[in-house]
Structure 1
Amino acid sequence: MLNELCNLNGISGREHAVRDYIISHLPSDAEYHTDPLGSLIVYKKGKAEPKNKVMLDAHMDEVGFIITYITDDGYLKFTTVGGIDERVIFGRAVKVGKELIPGVIGGKAIHQTTAEEKGKLPSVENMYIDIGASSKEEALSHVSLGDAVYFDSCYREFGDGFIKAKAIDDRVGCEILLRLINSDLPYSATFCFSVQEEIGTRGAAAAAYSVAPDFAIVIEGTTAADISGVPEEKKVCRLGGGAVVSFMDRGTVYDSELYKKAFEIAEKNGIRCQTKTVVAGGNNASAIHKAAGGIKTLAVSVPCRYIHSGSSVAEKEDIESTFELARALLAEFSQC
């Protein structure tokens, strides 16, 4: 399922293919609706009714690009949708528009650059997408201004339990939520597959107001910097270390009791769990915890290398640990 989810295309504001896939994999006893922004809100009845209303959230959108201009000689100018490091853009294969036209992000070749330019990364403003068109008219016969552009990158398994794909952030969260919905839940719960997280946590903000839960659990992919050359205190989290629980990021200071409770439950159930040790990034918790008069919120994430690129890397065992912790936390928060 994660393979299929990651291979789907859905930048912020263009999540319909992901939403349709999720709907097609919901059990017959799940109730759902799509809110005006496009978030999919699912209610699944459990074996008992909970003392507290719990919402689990994962976002459907991925980072990517959008077409802003077409030159007279048929090249496509673009800007980013979400935070993408320019180092992972140049030379990438992409798919463009509704027809998923193949293209390549290009710019001035290295042997054509000046001495000053050779020491700098090319900016997005100086890049273009080459779809093989020879004129503006030819390009316009296939694409339009405002068309979405996606990384062209397939899901692949390698090494000992590793996976490589685009959009692991946050199709891995969507996959975990779908697995929970298709399981026998001890308590009824609400699941939100939100839109537009990558451009400002917009879908979750609207959904949290309408659901108004007592507790929220955000399931995410988060930065792992466990690579060569990074000091120990800057590695954030590690692949193979299990589910990642945050005490603070750039958008949220998490409830300290919920943070402690997550580790207690993990230890009790033999679930591998680790702390996100650097205050960086953010996720839908930043919008959810401030909604509807205030919602107690916790983020549980899968560690992911090279996040927001066409080739993110995660480990299967960490995904399983995150699933197990999410399931245990759902049961705990429903009755605490």
Structure 2
Amino acid sequence: MLLKELSELNGVSSGETAVRHYIHDRIQGRVDRIQTDRLGNLIARRDQGKKGPLVMLSAHMDEVGLMVVGIDASGLLKIKTIGSIDERVLVSKRVLVGPQRIPGVIGAKPIHLQEKEEREHPLKTTSLFVDIGATDRKEAEKDVKIGDLIAFDVQAEAFGDGLFKGKALDDRAGCAVLLNILEKEYSLPLAFAFTVQEEVGLRGATVAAFSVNPDLALVVETTSAGDVPPLKKHQASTRLGAGPAISFMDRSVIVNPALITRLVAVAEKAGIPYQFRESTAGGTEAGAINQTRSGIPVAVISVPCRYIHSPVGVLNLNDLELTVKLIDAFLRDIEQRGLPL
């Protein structure tokens, strides 16, 4: 299964090589040209003989994780977070360290040895470590080094009623959507940007958008689903099973209303369920793309996902399929009627 394979690849920000190679191998021969830029973005173009506005679809390859920043005399690894992670979810999680994927577990001082004030506050990353079973620093250094990236060790799988759980669904779900779109043919010139280092500052998208310079960009993301207790229905940002989420704005961008109007019209004409992202928290690659060169119009379509930026996320597979259908319908509409701006 495509999403399972993507989820189980390790690609903490700045270490996206395995994801890039996987995507490159999958699309080779199905696009006109593939480029890997100096930052590590993979940009695939299908534009030979195509007429019309150039549309760029963007999804980031990287995931949140950790880095080894020190090795204690005991052989335990000191760590720092890469990307925004709630420190409360880290302790006792299984991880894979470095390119050799050395198994480890995130540990902390046992609760029965903690002082009262320590038990009353979440453990900070500085109080955590990764245990790889080494007896001392010398033994640990045989397998790992300072600067090694650490990914969560999670088996991805479908479960429940049409749900899927796994790590890095932000934004391997978006990568899966783009790969599905790549299987279809369009008369438009298209660029597919699989970007790096989104989780640490939208860095890959900034470079990719400048290079491609599209007439319109579409960011495909995952976004927080707030459909869990104790939140009430009206407090949820998005809901699993209600279709792809269209964004009006977030911390990084305000989407041109004409784009939203066209997306809604396309969805309703095609009978595709959709929802609006009802929170403006967080940022997306749209913010970087929108401000590139002389300004690039950009829209954001997201797959709702529970427990985002944690070791395991949960999404609805039908939402993923509907996201593909909405983007396909949107591109077909541009083929027929041109850009909405």
Other structure's SS at 1:301 match: strand
Q: Quick one: which of 39, 42, 55 aligns to 2:41?
A: 39
Measure, in 2, the Cα distance between the counterparts of 1:29 and 1:132. Answer: 45
Aligned to 2:286: 285
Count of aligned positions: 335
Deviates more, 1:322-331 or 1:89-98: 322-331
Kept in 2, the 8 Å contact 1:90–1:105? The answer is: yes
Q: Which runs of 4+ in 1 moved over 4 A?
A: none
Kept in 2, the 8 Å contact 1:75–1:131? The answer is: yes
Measure, in 2, the Cα distance between the counterparts of 1:87 and 1:42. Answer: 38
Other structure's SS at 1:25 match: helix
Measure, in 1, the Cα distance between the counterparts of 2:178 and 2:61. Answer: 11
Measure, in 1, the Cα distance between the counterparts of 2:249 and 2:104. Answer: 39
Measure, in 2, the Cα distance between the counterparts of 1:157 and 1:256. Answer: 36
Deviation of the 1:110 alpha carbon: 1.1
| Letter matched to residue 41 of structure 1 | I
Deviates more, 1:304-313 or 1:111-120: 111-120
Q: In the alignment, does 2:231 pair up with 1:230?
A: yes
Aligned to 2:96: 95
Kept in 2, the 8 Å contact 1:27–1:181? The answer is: no
Aligned to 2:15: 14
| Letter matched to residue 42 of structure 1 | A
Kept in 1, the 8 Å contact 2:53–2:188? The answer is: no
Deviation of the 1:118 alpha carbon: 1.3
- Unmatched tracts of structure 2, length 5 or more: none
Deviation of the 1:290 alpha carbon: 0.3
Other structure's SS at 1:68 match: strand
Aligned to 2:325: 324
Deviation of the 1:11 alpha carbon: 0.6
Aligned to 2:179: 178
Superposed CA offset, 1:229-267 (max 9, x none): 013343100000100010011111111111121111100
Q: In the alignment, does 2:255 pair up with 1:254?
A: yes
Aligned to 1:192: 193
Deviates more, 1:241-250 or 1:225-234: 225-234
Aligned to 2:66: 65
Deviation of the 1:44 alpha carbon: 1.6
| Identity of matched residues, % | 42
Aligned to 1:148: 149
TM-score (norm. length: structure 2): 0.96
Superposed CA offset, 1:147-205 (max 9, x none): 01000001011111000000011011111111111222242211100000000000000
Deviates more, 1:177-186 or 1:29-38: 177-186
| Letter matched to residue 240 of structure 1 | G
- Unmatched tracts of structure 1, length 5 or more: none
Aligned to 2:266: 265
Aligned to 2:79: 78
Measure, in 2, the Cα distance between the counterparts of 1:57 and 1:168. Answer: 15
Deviation of the 1:29 alpha carbon: 4.0
Deviation of the 1:27 alpha carbon: 4.6
Measure, in 2, the Cα distance between the counterparts of 1:190 and 1:326. Answer: 14
The correspondence of residues 204-215 of structure 1 with structure 2, limited to 5 A, is 204-215=205-216
> How large is the RMSD of aligned CA atoms in angstroms?
1.2
Other structure's SS at 1:5 match: helix
Other structure's SS at 1:217 match: strand
